[in-house]
Amino acid sequence: MAKRVGVDKWLFGVVLLLVLFGLVMVFSASAVMAQSSLGSPYPYVANQAKWAVLGLLVMVWLMRVDYRRYNNPRVVFPAVTVTMLLLVCVFAMPGMNGAHRWIRVAGTTLQASELAKPVLVLFLAYFLQTRIHQMDDWKGTILRAVAVPLLFTALILKEPDLGTGMVCMAVTALMLYLAGAKTRYFAVGAALAAPVLYFMLFHVAFRRARMLAFVNPEADPRGTGFHILQSLIAVGTGGIRGLGLMEGRQKLFYLPEVQTDFIFANICEELGLIGALLVVGLFVALGYRGLRAAFLSTDPFARFLAFGLTTAILIQAFFNMSVVLALLPTKGIPLPFISSGGTSIFITLASMGVLLNITREID
């Protein structure tokens, strides 16, 4: 197949649109609260813009780095080791809101679990590329393939961060399915995971409260049901066309974490159904171009890498929007490219640089 002269311009354009749209919405969501608490409307968007620019520079650089360089044990295993160490180091840091998810260095906050997702994809792409015809070997292939994802997930769950842990396991399952793993292995995995998930949802106090609030948020509208109800009010208020950019009301001390976890609710309120469908459409376009690159690639490593990087973003976006629309219980998962969060946008844009480099190899 002929080598593409440049990267996939459609995918590149979609990424740029998502980043620019995200900066606008972060400012819209955070300006009033930032003015009230920090004395300026710009701190959140300025921090997001800084990381977005750095991420775009790294993306453009990685677009030019041959993805085959990552197909090397001298790259894969150090990346896994460093990620593992970072996931352990978070527990030595002071907690925030009852969780240990962040590493603070020189005034900068880094979230190690964001790095875990692309590194997990890299490891699985490297490991599975030569084992496509050995997927019935549960000891030599399946157990070894899931070892690193399970270790990553166990550490992430300990933080605790159930949402990101579920994203990691969902990406792992999809990549194993792409490699041709037998259905019975997924059944066994689900059976083993079910008791753990049940315990974490119903025997951990704050998650049990979230589950009960998800089932009946009106039972405690000022407590556990507050997030869901305020999110639904924002979504419903927006209607078809929305109240207008910067005109949202729920962000004014009602909707919690409006610039991060619930930014999609602010989009729905200010830009309405039209704005929400625009966001969904951009993610659909990104998914189409990313999965197209995966399935058109003749290199198994590139196929797994492109598939994993794309599905990780799509799953995260699906979880975030579903929480906002009360289709899933509340989880702390940001909306890729759009939610405020320096580590998230930087790592996501770096991943897009690798994906864009892969698109050079297809028609």
The predicted-structure confidence for 58-107, as pLDDT tens digits, reads as follows 999 999 999 999 999 999 999 999 999 999 998 887 766 667 777 887 66
pLDDT score, position 140:
87
**pLDDT(263) > 50:** yes
pLDDT band at 2 (very low <50, low <70, confident <90, very high): very low
pLDDT score, position 3:
54
Q: Render 91-157 in DSSP notation, one character per residue.
A: GGSPPBTTB--EEEETTEEEEHHHHHHHHHHHHHHHHHTT-GGGTT-IIIIIIHHHHHHHHHHHHHH
Which has more confidence, 49 or 96? 49
Which has more confidence, 106 or 332? 332
**In angstroms, how far is the first alpha carbon of the chain from the final one?**
7
Helices 43-63 & 9-38, crossing angle to 10 degrees? 160
Q: Please give the Cα distance from 114 to 314 (Å, whole number).
A: 14
Model confidence pLDDT, tens digit, residues 275-304: 999 999 999 999 999 999 999 999 999 999
Model confidence pLDDT, tens digit, residues 149-189: 999 999 999 888 888 999 999 999 999 999 999 999 999 99
Indicate left, alpha or beta for 96 from its phi (over 0: left) and psi (-120 to 50: alpha).
Answer: beta
Residue 136 tokens, joined: 């019935």
Is this structure's pTM higher than 0.85? yes
Residue 171 tokens, joined: 């990406």
**H-state helical runs in the chain:** 9-38, 43-63, 73-89, 112-128, 144-158, 162-179, 183-202, 205-215, 226-238, 263-296, 300-324, 342-358
Residues 6+ apart with CB under 8 A from 171: 117, 120, 121, 308, 311, 312, 315
Which has more confidence, 7 or 315? 315
